[in-house]
Structure 1
Amino acid sequence: MTSITPARPSLTSNDAAVLQALFDAESSPSSGITVDASLPSWPAKVNISQADLTTLKQREAEIVRKLQTNETPSRENIKSALDEFDSLLNQYPTYPSAYTNRAQALRLLVDIQYNETPSQNNPHVSEATADDALFSPEAASLSSRILADLGQAITLATPASPADPMSSVQARLLADAHTHRGYLLLKAARVKKDQAGQESGEAVGPERLRGLSANQLEEMASHDFFLGGRYGNKVAQQLAVQTNPYAKMCGAIVKEAMRKEFEG
């Protein structure tokens, strides 16, 4: 006699789509944007004429070239570049690209300071890196400026509506800026976790992040990685999945179910 066993419940098409979006980095982050090559480089709110944009790009390229040497640029070169970015942005405060490049120059300045005095920048971590130094008390002002510049670039370049088409220049900047900020937030979360058991009394990173828990910082990083991936950064797409709290929760549930299945 043939026995009939109850069928296991199957996923609905909606459930399957949700799980696919959670676990497959290629399934959703880069979809949903339209890149139109005929559009101006920046949205209307940037409000810079095409003639001025051409001049700005040349000025910006000249500043960046000073930092792109075969060896690590000197402190003097970095500070000179920062002064030039400051001057450029004082004249054109809505030019998004200069903010991301100034953030990169500030990162270089932190690296220089770390290489000069590594033991002072991170007394609690035996194998510290320059990224750890970014969230030391000594670098709090610089890390605040980096996050502020990335935030301003994102604000200026983000379209009014997620459905609005954008230029390839605009999409590339948003991909890079969100990914850069996501990485810094993720690093801040890891540093905060590392220091959780210490009684140094030193706060981690810039003031705007100090009241946030490591989990909150990681969730913010995940959101930035999602947007970075949505705008086309492949690394951000992978990191968005790895840091997604819902994906991690579902992954834990699946692992537990598989463990019980093997044990049973």
Structure 2
Amino acid sequence: MSPNISSSCNAPLKASAHDTNLVDILFTSALDGEYVRDQISGTFAGYTPKQDSGLATPTSSDDTPSQISESKLVELQGREHRAILAAERDGNLQGAISQLSQIIQDCPSYASAYNNRAQALRLDGADPSAVLTDLDSAIRYAQDDKTLGQAYTQKGIVLKAIEADQDDVFNCFAQGAKCGNEVARLAMAKENPYAKMCGKIVSEAMRQLRTASSPKS
């Protein structure tokens, strides 16, 4: 069973007020886990066994989509769903991480499990390098736009949190936006170096105008 790849990567999206608030939190204060929690919750919104699996065709693995039966995919998705519930409903992050790790061990090319484990690790305060390793694996194996967009967006957030190179942060958000992730599109606009430069110029001009119009003592 081959996963479906959306053909609407470049379609315009309307960002919700919630998405806008999340980006404001991201760019005006330290990331406190709200976005990650929201993303974990959204991963299985409207869950059905027929949803995109996020599996890819790795070059050196026996677990390629063509070799995984439909019943196996349904089993993996169900197990992943239970792991997510352990994190979001029960607050059992360690249990969720353990379950997701077992899924990855059973099927190393199951991209969505890497993405969700990265999110759970982030919430659990894990070292950013471990989170980034999982996100790189999710990006490597992902075939559906949703999983790929989430992985790139999450990677951009982690890189920004550790004050990585601005170009790397921007490129991650750009890739997430290309795959239709609304938060990535908003974040990309705020992280754009040209927009930042223009914003600084405007801010400085406004400061000078306010100074010039202030009554002299």
Measured against the shorter chain, the TM-score band is 0.5 to 0.7
2:21 paired residue number = none
1:188 paired residue number = 162
**Deviation of the 1:51 alpha carbon:** 2.7
Cα deviation code 1:79-110 (max 9, x no counterpart): 22222222221121111010011112212322
Q: Which of residues 139, 144, 158 is equivalent to 2:129? A: 144
TM-aligned CA distance change 1:98 to 1:40, over 3 Å:
closer
The 8 Å contact of residues 56 and 109 in structure 2, kept in 1 or not, is answered as no
The question of 1:91 aligning with 2:76 is answered no
The question of 1:57 aligning with 2:77 is answered yes
TM-aligned CA distance change 1:108 to 1:252, over 3 Å:
closer
Cα deviation code 1:161-192 (max 9, x no counterpart): xxxxxxxxx11111111111111111222xxx
The question of 1:155 aligning with 2:168 is answered no
What are the within-5 Å matches in structure 2 for residues 10-159 of structure 1? 30-31=9-10, 42-45=55-58, 47-48=64-65, 49=68, 50-69=70-89, 73=91, 77-110=92-125, 139=126, 142-157=127-142
Q: Distance in 1 between matches of 2:54 and 2:136?
A: 19
TM-score, length-normalised on structure 2? 0.61
Q: Distance in 2 between matches of 1:188 and 1:151?
A: 16
Q: Pairwise CA RMSD of aligned residues?
A: 3.0
In the alignment of these two chains, the number of paired residues is 156
Structure 2 gap ranges (5+): 1-8, 12-51, 213-217
Q: Distance in 1 between matches of 2:93 and 2:203?
A: 49
**Deviation of the 1:247 alpha carbon:** 3.2
SS of the equivalent of 2:10 reads coil
**Deviation of the 1:149 alpha carbon:** 0.4
The 8 Å contact of residues 148 and 179 in structure 2, kept in 1 or not, is answered as yes
SS of the equivalent of 2:162 reads helix
Q: Where do 4+ consecutive residues of structure 1 move more than 4 Å? A: 250-260
AA aligned opposite 1:44: T
The question of 1:245 aligning with 2:190 is answered no
TM-aligned CA distance change 1:80 to 1:252, over 3 Å:
closer
Deviates more, 1:91-100 or 1:58-67: 58-67
TM-aligned CA distance change 1:259 to 1:176, over 3 Å:
same
TM-score, length-normalised on structure 1? 0.51
Deviates more, 1:242-251 or 1:219-228: 242-251
Structure 1 gap ranges (5+): 1-29, 33-38, 111-138, 159-169, 190-213
Q: Distance in 2 between matches of 1:255 and 1:230?
A: 30
TM-aligned CA distance change 1:255 to 1:85, over 3 Å:
closer
Larger radius of gyration: 1
1:116 paired residue number = none
Q: Distance in 1 between matches of 2:192 and 2:116?
A: 28
2:19 paired residue number = none
The 8 Å contact of residues 87 and 95 in structure 2, kept in 1 or not, is answered as no
AA aligned opposite 2:160: L
Q: Distance in 1 between matches of 2:95 and 2:53?
A: 31
TM-aligned CA distance change 1:43 to 1:85, over 3 Å:
closer
SS of the equivalent of 1:44 reads coil
